[in-house]
C-alpha cells in the first residue's frame, strides 16, 4: 500500500540562513501512530508545518494521499488536521461556534451532531456557550483539539499535545488517540515524553539537528538497541578486574563493590553463565545479582549523544 504521507529529501533553510531540515526522507503508513522524538530545535515543528502547508519547503517534496502539499495544498489541507503547540484562538468567539466554524473552513457541511460528540468527548460540552477568553489554558487546548477533529481529518498531527497539560487532559487525549486509531486515522505526534511514545506509538522516529536518525518499529527498536546490564555485588571490594575476567569487559562500580556487565538483549548468547562461573572460579563472594534493561530514554539519549 502506498504511504499516506511521503516525505522525500525535504530541506528547509530559514531566511536567517539557518538550515532546520537537511534532507529528510520518511514514509508514514495509513493508520499508524508515529511518534517523533527529538530535542528542542531538532526540526519537528518545521517538518510538521511544511506537511500542513504553513511553511514553504526549500527543497524536496511531500505528498499526502498522493497530493503534493505545495501544488495541491487545498486537497491536502482537507485531509490533514493539526493540533499546534501554541494557542491561537479568537478570544470573543464561543466554543461551539469556533469548532463548528473550523469544520466549515475546511469545506465540510455543517454537522452539529458530530460537533456535539467531539465536545462531549473532550469534556467541553458544558462550556459550549462560553467565550474562549473565559476558558482556562487546559480548556483552550481541548478546543484546539476539537477544532482539528471537527473536519474529520484522515491524518492528524499533534505537536507536543501533552506538554504542560494536566493528568485528566492527558488521559482524555490518549483515549481519543485510541479511538481515532481504531477508526483508521493516521496520527503523527511529537513529544518530549519518551515514556508516552513508548506507550502509544507503533513506530518511533528520532530527529536531531534537521536529520532523521532512525525510524523503527517500536518493538524492534527496543529489541535492537536495548541493552541490559548485570550488576554483581561483591562482599569485598576489588581495585581492578582480574585478568581472567578481561574478556567480559566488566566495569567496576559502587567503589569497587560491584562488577557491571553490559550485554545485548538481541544476542543469541548473553554470556551470563560463563561470566558467573568465571567470577566464582576467581573466588569472589557475591552479595547480590541484579539486571537492568535500558529504556527507550536511554536509547534516545545515546543516539542523540552520538550524533553530536
Ligand atoms: N521562522 C524561523 N526563522 C529562523 N529560524 C527558525 C524559524 N523557525 C524555527 N527556526 C529554527 O529552526 C530550528 C528548528 O525549529 P523547530 O521549531 O522545527 O524545532 P522543534 O524540533 O519543533 O523544537 P521544539 O521541541 O523546541 O519545539 C530551531 O533552531 C529554530 O530556532
CA distance 234 to 130: 65
Residue 302 above 80 pLDDT?
A: no
pLDDT tens profile 265-279: 666 677 888 999 999
Residue 209 C-alpha to ligand 1 middle, in angstroms?
10
ipTM of the complex: 0.92
CA distance 81 to 183: 15
pLDDT tens profile 104-119: 888 889 999 999 999 9
Residue 306 above 70 pLDDT?
A: no
Residues with Cβ within 6 A of ligand 1?
14, 16, 18, 20, 38, 40-46
Residue 307 above 60 pLDDT?
A: no
Domain-wise residue ranges, the chain: 5-222, 227-294
Ligand 1, atom 1, residue with closest C-alpha: 14
CA distance 156 to 103: 15
CATH pick for 5-222 out of 3.40.50.300, 3.40.109.10, 3.90.700.10, 3.40.50.1580: 3.40.50.300
pLDDT at 87: 65
Residue 82 near residue 146, CB atoms below 8 Å = no
Q: How far is CA 181 from CA 153, 160, 204, 293, in A?
A: 12, 18, 16, 29
Mean pLDDT on 203-232: 84
Residue 36 near residue 205, CB atoms below 8 Å = yes
User: Do 5-222 and 227-294 agree at the fold level?
Assistant: no
Ligand 1, atom 31, residue with closest C-alpha: 41
The pTM assigned to this predicted structure is 0.78
Residue 20 C-alpha to ligand 1 middle, in angstroms?
7
Query: Which CATH code is given to the segment(s) 227-294?
Result: 3.30.70
Spatial CA neighbour of 85 closest among 169, 4, 144: 144
Amino acid at each position: 500500500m502506498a504511504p499516506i504521507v511521503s516525505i522525500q529529501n525535504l530541506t528547509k533553510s530559514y531566511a536567517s540562513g539557518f538550515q532546520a531540515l537537511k534532507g529528510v526522507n520518511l514514509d508514514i503508513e495509513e493508520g499508524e501512530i508515529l511518534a517523533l522524538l527529538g530535542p528542542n530545535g531538532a526540526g519537528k515543528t518545521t517538518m510538521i508545518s511544511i506537511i500542513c502547508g504553513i511553511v514553504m519547503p526549500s527543497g524536496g517534496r511531500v505528498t499526502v494521499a498522493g497530493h503534493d502539499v505545495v501544488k495541491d495544498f487545498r486537497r491536502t489541507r482537507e485531509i490533514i488536521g493539526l493540533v499546534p503547540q501554541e494557542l491561537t484562538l479568537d478570544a470573543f468567539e464561543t466554543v461551539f461556534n469556533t469548532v463548528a466554524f473550523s469544520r466549515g473552513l475546511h469545506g465540510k457541511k455543517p454537522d452539529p451532531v458530530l460537533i456535539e460528540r467531539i465536545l462531549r468527548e473532550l469534556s467541553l460540552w458544558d462550556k459550549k456557550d462560553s467565550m474562549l477568553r473565559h476558558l482556562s489554558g487546559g480548556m483552550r487546548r481541548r478546543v484546539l483539539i476539537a477544532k482539528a477533529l471537527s473536519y474529520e481529518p484522515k491524518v492528524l498531527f499533534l505537536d507536543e499535545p501533552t506538554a504542560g497539560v494536566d493528568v485528566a487532559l492527558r488521559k482524555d487525549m490518549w483515549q481519543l488517540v485510541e479511538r481515532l486509531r481504531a477508526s483508521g486515522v493516521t496520527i503523527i505526534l511529537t513529544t518530549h515524553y519518551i515514556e508516552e511514545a513508548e506507550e502509544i506509538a507503533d513506530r518511533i522516529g528520532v530527529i536531531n539537528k534537521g536529520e532523521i536518525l532512525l525510524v523503527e518499529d517500536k518493538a524492534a527498536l527496543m529489541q535492537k538497541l536495548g541493552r541490559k546490564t548485570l550488576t554483581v555485588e561483591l562482599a569485598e571490594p576489588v581495585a581492578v578486574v582480574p585478568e581472567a575476567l578481561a574478556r567480559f569487559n566488566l566495569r567496576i562500580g559502587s567503589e569497587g563493590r560491584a562488577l557491571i556487565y553490559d550485554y545485548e538483549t538481541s544476542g543469541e548468547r548473553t554470556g551470563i553463565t560463563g561470566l558467573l562461573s568465571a567470577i566464582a572460579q576467581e573466588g569472589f563472594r557475591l552479595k547480590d545479582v541484579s539486571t537492568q534493561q535500558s529504556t527507550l530514554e536511554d536509547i534516545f539519549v545515546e543516539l542523540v549523544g552520538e550524533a553530536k
